[in-house]
Amino acid sequence: MITGQAPLTAPRSAPQPAVTAGSHRRLLDQGAGTLPHDDPALVGLLDAEVRFQQENLAMVAYASLAHPSVLAAAGSALSNVTAEGYPGARYHPGAHVFDEVERLAAQRATALFGARHANVQPHSCSSANLSVLFALMRPGDTLLGLDLDAGGHLTHGAPASVTGRYFRAVHYGLGPDGRIDLDEVAALARRHRPKVIVAGASAYPRTWDYGAFRAVADEAGAWLLADISHVAGLVAAGLHPNPVDIAHVTTTSTYKQLGGPRGGLILLGAAAEEATGAHGSGPLAERMRRGVFPRTQGTPNAAAIAAKARALGLAAGPRFTTLARRIRTDARVLADALVARGHRLVSGGTDNHMVLLDLSAGGVSGADTERALETCGILANRNCVPGDTRPPLVTSGLRLGTNILAQRGLGPAEMDTCAELVDTVVRGLGAGGGRDRLDPALAARVRATVRDLCDRFPVPQYPAAP
């Protein structure tokens, strides 16, 4: 073989370093190097986004920051690979490198979560949930999940989602203490005999008892789907119960707490294997495979799968465990600091990364608070609270999260400052009669403190603003 030239026949073995070393890097350098000249309009926006992320404090629950190496993997030449199907069984030629990448991502996903099978192809967790639900149910079958207003996700049977249109959705809510009432779940399961029960939420600050959900599912003859989209990082770090061996199927997003690209995973563990015989409809892994492709997706995003592999690799390291601990500790300290300032929290506190501020006692809405915080350089989103009387675009709550604060290195000492900032804005809005009535001097003071925090705690590995 002539050095520097690709072999004529594709090797089944791993790519050969002598031929490929540095190619990916040169490709990225090439693109990043010429883009400012070739497309200044676009590159200006891309630069603005990096700077925005450095200069604003994202106190959000629904995101984390991807390591630059994850972003580099997502921008790889794998983007050019079209390959329906699965490793070793594609419908297109030329996928032997991608086969290895997909196998690597799946291996890392199974290792990280102690699973026996992982499908790494879902484009998102919404897509993963659709695949799972359409694999386990027929249109008209009953689905039992947490109500959207109580913190559930659209794909858990909300009327606005295809899952609420094709399936008969029944929902459980929260008890007066802001926690899931398992007796209510069990009663609904007995009454409605759902085919699938979903344990998971987008806005729930407490720990899930998957064993209790499984017992309810078993009594009702239902499948249990655990959607760990929000807490996947804590699960991976052993700081939240792991449902993989208890639920029949587990799904997650890869960008929320795993620092990965936009995407989803489907994980199967011991429960899935044990269930195969009992439910008599073929191995669950195979049903999930077909549920993703061809039922709900076409070609997989090969570059995103490479980025998932990278993020899953990082999440398996000891630094990730340290980060996950800081995320959880920060959330507890933040919650305590808000309570100490007289604020009400849904469920009174938090077990995870999320703090749900209940603003319904004051006159200020979630939307106004979100907007006022944003003008001060703080990101946090409006959120329904139990019994909310305001419409979903307005709401009476605010959802805070510590994923990105912890990634930037903000610890318990800084959480008091963060609580102080939120408190100042909420009170300032209230004093001004709500809506856009934040005193400019007060807003400037908050912005200055935010700026100082962002300077002291830059996003690690991201270039600082010049």
Site string for ligand PLP, 231-270 (x = CB under 6 A): ----------------------x----------x------
Q: CB 466 → ligand PLP: shortest distance, Å?
A: 33
Q: Which is nearer to ligand PLP, 381 or 407 (CB)?
A: 381
Stretch near ligand PLP under the rule CB under 6 A, chosen from 224-232, 290-298, 336-344, 392-400: 224-232
Q: Which is nearer to ligand PLP, 194 or 377 (CB)?
A: 194
φ, ψ for residue 226, nearest 5 deg: -100, 120
Q: Which is nearer to ligand PLP, 129 or 365 (CB)?
A: 129
Stretch near ligand PLP under the rule CB under 6 A, chosen from 100-108, 222-230, 299-307, 400-408: 222-230
Q: CA of 124: how far to CAs of 6, 96, 119, 233, 297, in Å?
A: 34, 24, 12, 16, 11
Among 64, 110, 124, 424, binds ligand PLP (CB under 6 A): 124
Answer yes or no whether residue 400 interacts with ligand PLP by CB under 6 A.
no
* Look-up of token digits 């044990």: 274
Among 147, 227, 245, 358, binds ligand PLP (CB under 6 A): 227
Q: CB 379 → ligand PLP: shortest distance, Å?
A: 16
Q: Are 453 and 417 in contact (CB under 8 A)?
A: yes
Q: Which is nearer to ligand PLP, 102 or 227 (CB)?
A: 227
Question: How far apart, in whole angstroms, are the C-alpha atoms of residue 399 and residue 358?
Answer: 9
Among 76, 126, 297, 395, binds ligand PLP (CB under 6 A): 126
Q: CB 153 → ligand PLP: shortest distance, Å?
A: 4
Q: CB 353 → ligand PLP: shortest distance, Å?
A: 12
Q: CA of 12: how far to CAs of 97, 98, 330, in Å?
A: 9, 11, 47
Q: CA of 216: how far to CAs of 144, 228, 275, in Å?
A: 11, 19, 15
Answer yes or no whether residue 229 interacts with ligand PLP by CB under 6 A.
yes
Answer yes or no whether residue 125 interacts with ligand PLP by CB under 6 A.
yes
Give the count of alpha carbons within 13 A of 186, CB side only: 11
Size of the site for ligand PLP (CB under 6 A): 14
Site string for ligand PLP, 153-172 (x = CB under 6 A): x-x-----------------
Q: Which is nearer to ligand PLP, 198 or 237 (CB)?
A: 198
Q: Which is nearer to ligand PLP, 146 or 443 (CB)?
A: 146
Within residues 196-215, the interface with ligand PLP by CB under 6 A covers 200-202
Stretch near ligand PLP under the rule CB under 6 A, chosen from 67-75, 118-126, 280-288, 413-421: 118-126
121 class by beta-carbon count within 10 Å (0-12 exposed, 13-18 middle, 19+ buried): buried
Question: How far apart, in whole angstroms, are the C-alpha atoms of residue 259 and residue 278?
Answer: 37
Give the list of residues 6+ apart from residue 464 with CB closer than 8 angstroms, or none: 54, 458
Question: How far apart, in whole angstroms, are the C-alpha atoms of residue 197 and residue 217?
Answer: 7
Q: What angle do CA 286, 287, 291 make, to 5 degrees?
A: 120
Q: CA of 51: how far to CAs of 43, 248, 375, 410, in Å?
A: 12, 43, 16, 19
Q: Which is nearer to ligand PLP, 74 or 446 (CB)?
A: 74
Answer yes or no whether residue 59 interacts with ligand PLP by CB under 6 A.
no
Q: Which is nearer to ligand PLP, 231 or 306 (CB)?
A: 231
Q: What angle do CA 271, 275, 277 make, to 5 degrees?
A: 145
Within residues 137-156, the interface with ligand PLP by CB under 6 A covers 153, 155
Give the count of alpha carbons within 13 A of 197, CB side only: 30
Answer yes or no whether residue 178 interacts with ligand PLP by CB under 6 A.
no
Q: Are 130 and 162 in contact (CB under 8 A)?
A: yes
Question: How far apart, in whole angstroms, are the C-alpha atoms of residue 156 and residue 179?
Answer: 18
Q: What angle do CA 453, 456, 462 make, to 5 degrees?
A: 105
Q: CB 230 → ligand PLP: shortest distance, Å?
A: 5
Residues of this chain that interact with ligand PLP (CB under 6 A) are: 124-126, 129, 153, 155, 200-202, 227, 229-230, 253, 264
